[in-house]
Chain A
């Protein structure tokens, strides 16, 4: 029968195909509504959008061209938000990235299993404290008569309001981020460490290798691969600072150090109603992020043959 042949041809949808496709529907609806359509909403960046305008009515849109990109790139906020974002991300990369590795290496040297497990479990605790509560604790602890000043007074340090001083913001932010994440971040390395063959250490000891040499020649090389991949990925995300924490610790008094691209977008767009400007800034930063991800991924593929695509 010719009809039967047609339905069997590739590219024709059979009843079977449709029933498989029906499984895509719930996810696809949400992905279209909240991932794809907002992408088209980016045309706002090139329009003089006023509240109530129809973004997609392209014929009647008041086009602004690159006005808002120029406005951002030409303002003092560009240098400020860009350097602040980079500064906080680089600090986070230096400390937030290395601490989990150092911690995993340290605990790997602990032989008492119960002690090791307890420390591990306790180190995950900050991950399960919400960002808002962590920020609340930071605000309270760095207060004039807070925990930090009480502690530092033991060493004769003058009490002060740490958070409102812009120059301390990067330190406070980095310490908070590292504290919240180092334990949970080390899980990945623990699992790699547990897969090292104990016989390798045994052999090294018989050859007279001391503890440092064992770490240097067995433990670190076995982590090198995963460290390299993680480093490359983290570098690709360098423009995506921890918005949720920064917004909570942001004060107008520390803005010279805490105002980042994401807080700027929030203030201009959500609080200030300058939707087109905020969208332009967002588009600018995600375009750079995309390029960075692409570059770092290519590097990752080159060095390890392992990448996102």
Chain B
């Protein structure tokens, strides 16, 4: 009797076997659903063109073929777009850190004059904006249209990040600032040598969020940048993957390849899949290592969202 009782208790503690099986299977299935589309794209990009053309490749590549990658690596426009994206990401990140950390520093100074006014100044744009068209018109008016500065300046500040950094700064004891002042440090020195080093964790979070955001977004670039030479990667991808404006088989082929292509035709969709892998891989390889920062960012954001 006592034995039965204790085993029953144990079962409750562990949960029933069937429930566990169901829970683990659903979790596994969800992980598979997240992973499989990208995996499918990967194996198709690596398969023999003939097998890939039938799209009947599901679990492992059929044959092995790197011809698609060879072709894609030869696409100059892809690489220049790639380079543009890296440049935009670096520039926007640095500008974001500068504008947000300086503004937040001023807010953290207790004696800031007209604090209510400054607070209102940053709160109003959080709830109301001019919208797409007026922003577009102003970028034109400022003469920034079709220059890299349009994208960098528009993406170089965030009121939300100002508030995040400010709340982080406010955890720094005021005595630290006063001690530095007594030593004759200016506000600039205090900002640079005391506040920024202490706030490194939040700055890292914001830097990563900004980079991922630049990496992913395309809308502003489509608005402001008409010249393909200065467009970021995502606009190249939009032309190739979404608008079907570029037939990669034609775009990347020489005349003799065109003839050879008749026999061993690599399909446009296989090349598209190759482009997806080439363009997404860096982020997909990197994110598991950075995920703790994103987790931190989400938690900080939830403080007041």
Contacts and interface: CB of A to CB of B under 8 A. Distances in A.
B122 A248 contact: no
A210 B219 contact: no
A121 B291 contact: yes
Contact of A270 (B15, B99, B122, B223): B223
B217 A244 contact: yes
A122 B134 contact: no
Given A30-B153, A34-B135, A125-B34, A24 B111 contact: no
Contacts of A293: 127
Interface string A34-74: 11111111101000000000010000000000000000000
B27 A107 contact: yes
Given A265-B131, A290-B127, A13 B280 contact: no
Contacts of B129: 35, 38-39, 286
Given A34-B153, A282-B132, A128 B298 contact: no
Interface string A150-194: 100000000000000000000000000001000110011011000
B298 A130 contact: no
Interface stretch (A87-95, A131-139, A216-224): A131-139
Contacts of A282: 130-134
Contacts of B184: none
A132 B237 contact: yes
Interface in A79-115: 103, 106-107, 109-112, 115
B64 interface: no
Contacts of B122: 31
A110 B28 CA distance: 11
A136 B133 contact: no
Q: Is the interface of A mostly helix, strand, loop or mixed?
A: helix
Contact of B30 (A11, A21, A40, A103): A103
Given A124-B291, A125-B34, A23 B106 contact: yes
Interface stretch (B70-78, B154-162, B199-207, B245-253): B154-162
A115 B99 CA distance: 41
Interface residues of B, number: 94
A172 to B, nearest CB: 14
A75 interface: no
A135 B243 CA distance: 10
A33 B140 CA distance: 12
Nearest to A109: B23
B134 A39 contact: yes
A30 B191 contact: no
B105 interface: yes
A247 B113 CA distance: 45
B55 A27 contact: no
Interface string B58-88: 0000000000000000000000000000000
Contacts of B26: 106
Contact of A19 (B123, B187, B238): B187
23 contacts: A19-B187, A20-B112, A26-B99, A28-B103, A30-B153, A31-B157, A106-B27, A107-B27, A122-B34, A122-B35, A124-B291, A132-B218, A136-B242, A137-B41, A140-B241, A141-B37, A179-B33, A187-B294, A205-B12, A266-B132, A269-B132, A282-B133, A286-B131
Given A20-B187, A106-B27, A211-B16, 17 more contacts: A16-B111, A20-B109, A23-B106, A27-B99, A35-B159, A37-B138, A38-B137, A39-B129, A55-B137, A106-B23, A119-B28, A121-B291, A129-B284, A131-B218, A244-B217, A286-B129, A293-B127
Interface of B: 9, 12-16, 19, 23-24, 26-28, 30-31, 33-35, 37-38, 40-41, 54-56, 98-100, 102-103, 105-106, 109, 111-113, 118, 121-123, 125, 127-138, 142, 153-154, 156-157, 159, 162, 186-188, 191, 212, 215-219, 223, 234, 237-238, 240-242, 269, 272-273, 276, 279-280, 283-284, 287-288, 291, 294-295, 298-299, 302, 304-305
Interface of A: 11, 13, 16-17, 19-21, 23-28, 30-31, 33-42, 44, 55, 103, 106-107, 109-112, 115-116, 118-119, 121-126, 128-133, 135-137, 139-141, 143, 145-147, 150, 179, 183-184, 187-188, 190-191, 205, 208-211, 226, 233, 243-244, 247-248, 262, 265-266, 269-270, 275, 278-279, 282-283, 286, 290, 293, 308-309
